A and B are shown apart, each in its own frame.
Chain A
């Protein structure tokens, strides 16, 4: 069975400083991994995805994530936070569950940007 753990429920950073949102996963297969962003009162939007190609994945709005199989991690980073990055971020793993592909969502990390 697969699972996703987002290690921080809330992260606060100052504008212009780096962002790190942590995600660990467990999977018995070669998973696909995603990061989605949800702005207040909006639906979720794909930031980036890993599907067994390059381990460093670049997404929209300057975000990137690195797939580290040895650490079972898929942390999301951005070099310099912007006020518009304030949102909730979800790490998602896609895996096989008794032969069926299944998505499992993390519980989310709320990112606050301090002016």
Chain B
């Protein structure tokens, strides 16, 4: 199993550009989520999904969209990038709904918005 994969590993955007961060898992997990990690703030939940076709907002959803058309994939879209979105983004999956069992994390995407 590859586990949770994320692409790209690094990305630099200009303010106002849009892009999609990709996340895929091959463990047949129903629950997937996106976090951002900023220095001194731990991980904060952006959006999550409890299954294909179902998504919901987390703690910091503004400026981000998600969709879940398949169990495997959970892309995160930045609609109009802002410098405040400079961060490291982690995708995670879990075998239980609501994500309170062990989370499996991807390697992260380091995003810089100029």
Contact = CB atoms under 8 A, between A and B. Distances in A.
Interface of A: 4, 9, 32, 34, 36, 41-46, 49, 90, 94, 100-101, 103, 105-108
Contacts of B90: 43-44
A43 B4 contact: yes
Interface of B: 4, 35, 40-45, 90, 92, 98-100, 102-103, 105-108
Contacts, number: 46
A94 B100 CA distance: 6
Contacts of A45: 105
A45 B92 CA distance: 11
B98 A101 contact: yes
A107 B108 CA distance: 17
A101 B101 CA distance: 11
Contacts of B98: 100-101
